[in-house]
Chain A
Amino acid sequence: MRLYEYIELVFTDYTLRTITLGTAVLGAICGMLGSFAVLRKQSLLGDAISHAALPGIAIAFLITETKNSNAFLLGALISGLIGSFWIRGIITKTKLKSDTALGLILSLFFGFGMLLLTYIQKMPNANQAGLENYLFGQAATLLASDVWMMAIITGICFCVLLLFWKELKLSVFDADYAKTLGFNTQFLDILITAFIVIAIVLGLQTVGVVLMSAMLLAPAAAARQWTNSLAIMITLAAIFGATSGVVGTAISATHEHLSTGPVIVLIAAVFVGISFIASPSRGLLFREIRFRKNRNDLQLHKTLSFMYNIAKDHEDITHPHAIKILNNFQGFTKRSLQKLEDKNYVSIQGTMWSLTPEGYQTAANLYNQLSHINDE
């Protein structure tokens, strides 16, 4: 299928449009809130909460005995919140490290959820089909009402972030200081954690328990690479998340047997990969390029200042010297001499070199700078 045909389909096909919008909104809210999880170094939190939501879904089914995604959502929300507050409680009340607490809650709740799931599977209730979809998600089950719900909650989340922007920024950066200024950091902490729980619960139907934390973290981790501003980071994370949703949906819709959730997460992972390699300030690629360039510049400077030391003892600074005398000098290569000539710092006549006035001046400046640094 051609790209424009697909785009046309998105606008005409009701189901596809619903799924595309749903995954886009989901990606956006996950990106926004994932930024906070990443900056608060709570990468495991998403995992713990999504796994903690599973028993809630199972219990909701046991109570209602029907497949009702709103009831499931509520169940997931309640058990996700219980899980996250137990984690907080364990961390503040005991000496356990936070990753221990997270791992503990994760396996406890997930184990309990799986237990309930196997029990439900044995029940003679035809409606039971579909519960295991929450493990890996099934975007096809998204309804327009689900998407509306996601959109409204994303809107609320966006407004809350705007409203408490400075407080959230401060408390994530320096919670103790925020406390001394009189801000209730516990409230802010609960606020952001509650929204993270909500985002995760919203995503369970689409992406599933197992991959949900990747959905939360990947766009934010990718966005962090491109900027040094919190606002831009969160915006970028939302854009990366939404794009992953749209592209992932497109790929899985146009290929047989590719479920949407995992494809979306893979696209998000591609964003992470590209960002870690190619970002200008933090990426590996540019770091290597910068490193090489710096090293080359330094080598040139070393050669130039060596020449300067030779030339400055002569009355005529452009007096020619043999290239041979540079050979024992460590910064020197044929290439660097060539580069110095290209820059018009030296001129070469046969086996002799001489500094140009321009080169002499540059070297003198370098020399002064260096000795100045040493003075300090």
Chain B
Amino acid sequence: MSRKIAVQIDDLTVAYNYKPVLWDIDLSIPEGVLMAIVGPNGAGKSTLIKSILDIIKPIAGSVKIYGKPYKKQRALVAYVPQKGSVDWDFPTTAFDVVMMGTYGSLGWIKRPGQKEKKAALEALEKVGMLSFRNRQISQLSGGQQQRVFLARALVQNAAIYFMDEPFQGVDATTEKAIINILKALRKAGKTVIVVHHDLQTVPEYFDWVTFLNVKKIATGPVKDIFNDDNLTKTYGINYKVALNQHPSP
């Protein structure tokens, strides 16, 4: 396949306090895929995203976004953190949080203006949260908070989106709404990388998948590599519990 490579990771090793969390990861993510990162709790999925985004310094290895280090390519990348990573009792509104997505392109000191406000309102509209724009964020439900985070990333108008469990704690309707937004992004030529826990929906939602458990187990098109073999290698022999299926006799 002669697709362009959006994200290229080589020999990436990350540790917190000497304990390796990611071990020698090589991964190339082609442009325009909607990719799931799957793996058990503590597999290092969040850590992988954080090291790609330069939040965590790896011990070794390199990450390239369209051939250049992340520092040079910030404008191309948007991030949806795991929802639990912030304090939702912070005194601010949904609109304000979405506005934060425009801060990167504004840079230091400059204040957001009309253009940024319009973009934020549009993003809120896209995720169906326009009527909640003035709501204090602690008074949003978990799914609504998740949508606010998604809107904040949409405002960044990036080429590559990294999302850490965007479906966590959302109901079926919201999940459908979010996946439709992600599919629309892919259709617009963007690359979307999603940490995902529900193995059952992987074939339906995604076209690309990476199995991760400290090491990279496999990566590629869902239809080629989403199989028992890789699932067992990632989750252990009991992975079918995670699939909510009974093992076939």
State which of A163, A176, A228 has its C-beta within 8 Å of the C-beta of B91.
A228
Q: Are B100 and A228 in contact, with the CB atoms below 8 A?
A: no
Q: How far is the CA of A95 from the CA of B15 in the complex (A)?
A: 13
Q: How far is the CA of A308 from the CA of B220 in the complex (A)?
A: 59
What does the 1/0 interface line of A35-53 toward B look like (CB < 8 Å)?
Answer: 0000101000000000000
Which of B90, B152, B173 is the most central at the interface, judged by chain A CB atoms within 10 Å of its CB? B90
A157-175 interface with B by 8 A CB criterion: 163-164, 166-167, 169-170, 172-174
Give the segment of B34-42, B78-86, B187-195 that binds chain A. B78-86
Q: How far is the CA of A193 from the CA of B5 in the complex (A)?
A: 42
Q: Are A233 and B111 in contact, with the CB atoms below 8 A?
A: no
State which of A166, A174, A228 has its C-beta within 8 Å of the C-beta of B111.
A166
Check A174/B91 contact, CB under 8 A, given A166-B111, A180-B74.
no
Q: How far is the CA of A229 from the CA of B90 in the complex (A)?
A: 9
Q: Are B90 and A182 in contact, with the CB atoms below 8 A?
A: no
Q: How far is the CA of A55 from the CA of B15 in the complex (A)?
A: 38
CB proximity of A151 to chain B, nearest CB, Å: 25
B17's nearest neighbour on chain A, judged by CB, is A95
Q: Indicate the size class of the contact surface on chain B.
A: 20 to 34
Q: Are A176 and B81 in contact, with the CB atoms below 8 A?
A: yes
Q: How far is the CA of A224 from the CA of B89 in the complex (A)?
A: 10
Binding site for A on B (CB under 8 A): 17, 50, 53-55, 71, 74, 77, 79, 81, 85-87, 90-93, 97, 100, 103-104, 106-109, 111-112, 136, 138, 152, 173
Q: Are A179 and B55 in contact, with the CB atoms below 8 A?
A: yes
State which of A172, A173, A180 has its C-beta within 8 Å of the C-beta of B55.
A180
State which of B79, B81, B86, B109 has its C-beta within 8 Å of the C-beta of A164.
B109
Number of interface residues of A (CB under 8 A): 27
Q: How far is the CA of A163 from the CA of B93 in the complex (A)?
A: 21
State which of A95, A170, A180, A228 has its C-beta within 8 Å of the C-beta of B93.
A228
A179 CB contacts on chain B under 8 angstroms: 53-55
Q: Are B109 and A163 in contact, with the CB atoms below 8 A?
A: yes
Cβ of A356 < 8 Å from any Cβ of B? no
Q: Are B85 and A174 in contact, with the CB atoms below 8 A?
A: yes
Q: Are A224 and B91 in contact, with the CB atoms below 8 A?
A: yes
B103 CB contacts on chain A under 8 angstroms: 166-167, 170, 178, 181, 183
Cβ of A5 < 8 Å from any Cβ of B? no
What does the 1/0 interface line of A214-233 toward B look like (CB < 8 Å)?
Answer: 00000000001001111001
CB proximity of A116 to chain B, nearest CB, Å: 36
Check A230/B104 contact, CB under 8 A, given A176-B50, A177-B79.
no
Show 16 A/B contacts (Cβ-Cβ < 8 Å), sorted by A.
A39-B90, A166-B111, A167-B103, A167-B108, A173-B86, A176-B55, A179-B53, A179-B55, A180-B53, A181-B74, A182-B107, A228-B136, A228-B138, A229-B92, A229-B93, A376-B173
CB proximity of A273 to chain B, nearest CB, Å: 20
CB proximity of B200 to chain A, nearest CB, Å: 22
A178 CB contacts on chain B under 8 angstroms: 103
B108 CB contacts on chain A under 8 angstroms: 164, 167, 183
A-B contact count (CB 8 A): 73
Q: Are A229 and B55 in contact, with the CB atoms below 8 A?
A: no
- 5 more A-B residue pairs beyond the given contacts A182-B104, A230-B92, with a C-beta to C-beta distance below 8 A: A170-B100, A177-B81, A178-B103, A180-B74, A228-B93
A224's nearest neighbour on chain B, judged by CB, is B91
A39's nearest neighbour on chain B, judged by CB, is B90
- A interface secondary structure, majority: helix
A174's nearest neighbour on chain B, judged by CB, is B86
A41 CB contacts on chain B under 8 angstroms: 87
B92 CB contacts on chain A under 8 angstroms: 169, 173, 228-230
B112 CB contacts on chain A under 8 angstroms: 166
B92's nearest neighbour on chain A, judged by CB, is A230
CB proximity of B46 to chain A, nearest CB, Å: 10
Q: How far is the CA of A233 from the CA of B55 in the complex (A)?
A: 29
A169's nearest neighbour on chain B, judged by CB, is B92
CB proximity of A172 to chain B, nearest CB, Å: 7
CB proximity of A178 to chain B, nearest CB, Å: 8
Q: How far is the CA of A182 from the CA of B55 in the complex (A)?
A: 10
Q: How far is the CA of A85 from the CA of B10 in the complex (A)?
A: 35
B93 CB contacts on chain A under 8 angstroms: 228-229
CB proximity of A307 to chain B, nearest CB, Å: 32
Q: How far is the CA of A104 from the CA of B136 in the complex (A)?
A: 37
CB proximity of B83 to chain A, nearest CB, Å: 11
B153's nearest neighbour on chain A, judged by CB, is A177
CB proximity of A286 to chain B, nearest CB, Å: 15
Q: How far is the CA of A355 from the CA of B179 in the complex (A)?
A: 47
Q: How far is the CA of A176 from the CA of B103 in the complex (A)?
A: 14
A171-209 interface with B by 8 A CB criterion: 172-174, 176-183
Q: Are A181 and B91 in contact, with the CB atoms below 8 A?
A: no
A94's nearest neighbour on chain B, judged by CB, is B17
A233 CB contacts on chain B under 8 angstroms: 91
CB proximity of A78 to chain B, nearest CB, Å: 29
Q: Are A182 and B74 in contact, with the CB atoms below 8 A?
A: yes
A93's nearest neighbour on chain B, judged by CB, is B17
Q: How far is the CA of A167 from the CA of B86 in the complex (A)?
A: 16
Which of B71, B91, B107, B138 is the most central at the interface, judged by chain A CB atoms within 10 Å of its CB? B91
CB proximity of B191 to chain A, nearest CB, Å: 16
CB proximity of A175 to chain B, nearest CB, Å: 9
Q: How far is the CA of A179 from the CA of B74 in the complex (A)?
A: 10
A230 CB contacts on chain B under 8 angstroms: 90-92
CB proximity of B176 to chain A, nearest CB, Å: 13
A167 CB contacts on chain B under 8 angstroms: 103, 108-109
Q: How far is the CA of A180 from the CA of B79 in the complex (A)?
A: 8
CB proximity of B75 to chain A, nearest CB, Å: 9
Q: How far is the CA of A95 from the CA of B86 in the complex (A)?
A: 21
